Amino acid sequence: MQRRHLLLTALVAAPLAGLPLTAGAQAWPTRPIKLVVPFAPGGTTDIVARTVAEKIGASLGQTVVVENKAGGGGIIGADAVAKSAPDGYTLSMATVSTTAANPAINPKIPYNTITDFVPIINIAATPNVIAVHPSFPARNYKDFVAVLKKSPGRYSFASSGTGTIQHLQMELFKSLTGAFVTHIPYRGAGPALNDTVAGQVQMMFDNLPSSLPFIKDNRLIPIVVSAPQRLAVLPDVPTFKEVGLEPVNRMAYYGLLAPKGTPQAVVDKIHAATKAALEDADVRKRIEATGSLIVGNTPEQFAAQIKAEFEVYKKVVVQQKLALD
């Protein structure tokens, strides 16, 4: 009789034990959500995050607060999110740097890019550009390469940090062309861009959205872009594929990640809110005006994209024998 009583008690308690989780997922969110940008303000990651944050918050009924947490080429901010409670209240802006390039080159990275996050959505794909300060003695790709080869080590390039996509793509460019340029890493694209515009560094491999305003003002000169085809905003600038460097012709991505263990119901809500934000005409206009392409894929598609990109950069690191300084 006692055994039967215990069994009945367990059967009754089992569904009740699940109710708080279900109710919690249904009620979520009940407080503001933090969206961590793992780079300093002013870069493309920051631009995309702030463009969608307000609309995502409006759909969810809570404020989405953008927090910049720079350092380590994006590692510090990404790791902070990986170690956060999996409750949907702390999200990360995912970039190629934090999910593929940096993990590929840094064996001591404190998180596993494949297993420590739940991919939610890829918001946008963004072209990259090599741009130089107007004082640089070249205005086109052919002359650019000739100048670098003539004076190896004389010029420097800025990046958003060691191991970022800007760093690895420029290193790949160097290895394929035989040019030598000194790497100057910064704590984000914003500070790197500021010093390039100021002429303290001669060039930068940057995401187009953050550099484009300075290109339009003739404060930076675009040399070559990574994009499927020439861009409407830069019709006279060739792609890396056009100049014979197809391996470098890779676009950046900007998406959302949550810590592993985040309930699927919460992930679905964030995904739906982000999709709604990307359907807003003003948001689309602001993102597309930077030269970026709206993506808005599924969590499964974004997970496959991250894995594929990681494999590409891992291969680059091995083939080009790249290592952290």
pLDDT one-digit tens code per residue, 91-131: 999 999 899 999 999 989 999 999 999 999 999 999 999 99
pLDDT one-digit tens code per residue, 102-111: 999 998 999 9
In a domain, 288, yes or no: yes
Of 248, 278, 307, the residue that ends a domain is: 248
Please give the mean pLDDT across all residues of the chain.
89
Q: Band the pLDDT of 25: cuts 50, 70, 90.
A: low
In a domain, 158, yes or no: yes
Q: What is the pLDDT of residue 283?
A: 96
Crossing angle (nearest 10°) for helices 44-60 and 281-288: 170
Please give the span between the terminal C-alpha atoms of the chain, in angstroms, as a whole number: 71
CA separation for the pair 252, 74 (Å, rounded) = 14
Q: Look up residue 291 and give its two tokens.
A: 């030269």
Domain boundaries, position 105 = 31-126+251-320
Above 80 in pLDDT, residue 262? yes
In terms of domains, do 145 and 74 share one? no
In a domain, 5, yes or no: no
Q: What is the pLDDT of residue 14?
A: 41
Q: Is the Cα dihedral 169, 175, 178, 184 positive or negative? A: positive
pLDDT one-digit tens code per residue, 300-315: 999 999 998 898 888 8
Q: What is the pLDDT of residue 312?
A: 82
In a domain, 12, yes or no: no
In terms of domains, do 268 and 165 share one? no
Cis bond leading into 29, ω under 30°? yes
Contact 69, 36 (CB under 8 A): yes
Q: What is the pLDDT of residue 24?
A: 54
Above 60 in pLDDT, residue 287? yes
CA separation for the pair 251, 209 (Å, rounded) = 12
CA separation for the pair 67, 80 (Å, rounded) = 12
Of 248, 281, 307, the residue that ends a domain is: 248
CATH of residue 53's domain is: 3.40.190.150
Above 90 in pLDDT, residue 232? no
The arithmetic mean of pLDDT across residues 294-299, rounded, is 96
Q: Look up residue 252 and give its two tokens.
A: 């950046």
In terms of domains, do 116 and 165 share one? no
Of 248, 272, 290, the residue that ends a domain is: 248
In terms of domains, do 134 and 99 share one? no
pLDDT one-digit tens code per residue, 64-87: 999 999 988 889 999 999 999 999
In terms of domains, do 37 and 110 share one? yes
Query: Partners of 252 in the beta sheet?
Result: 126
Which range is least confidently modeled, 14-23, 58-67, 160-169, 193-202? 14-23
The arithmetic mean of pLDDT across residues 229-255, rounded, is 93
Global pTM reads 0.77
More confident residue, 302 or 14: 302
Residue 15 host element (H or E) = helix 2-27
Q: Band the pLDDT of 187: cuts 50, 70, 90.
A: confident
In a domain, 225, yes or no: yes
Identify the three-state secondary structure at position 50. helix
Which range is least confidently modeled, 174-178, 219-223, 302-306, 313-317? 313-317
CA separation for the pair 243, 228 (Å, rounded) = 13
DSSP-assigned states of every residue in 194-208: HHHHTTSSSEEEEEH
What is the Rg, in whole angstroms, of the alpha carbon atoms belonging to the chain? 22
In terms of domains, do 88 and 108 share one? yes
In a domain, 4, yes or no: no
In terms of domains, do 122 and 255 share one? yes
Contact 64, 93 (CB under 8 A): no
In a domain, 169, yes or no: yes
Nearest to 101 by CA among 89, 113, 115: 113
Above 70 in pLDDT, residue 242? yes
In terms of domains, do 136 and 110 share one? no
Above 70 in pLDDT, residue 45? yes
- Count up the domains in the chain and report the number: 2
CA separation for the pair 77, 70 (Å, rounded) = 6
In terms of domains, do 215 and 105 share one? no
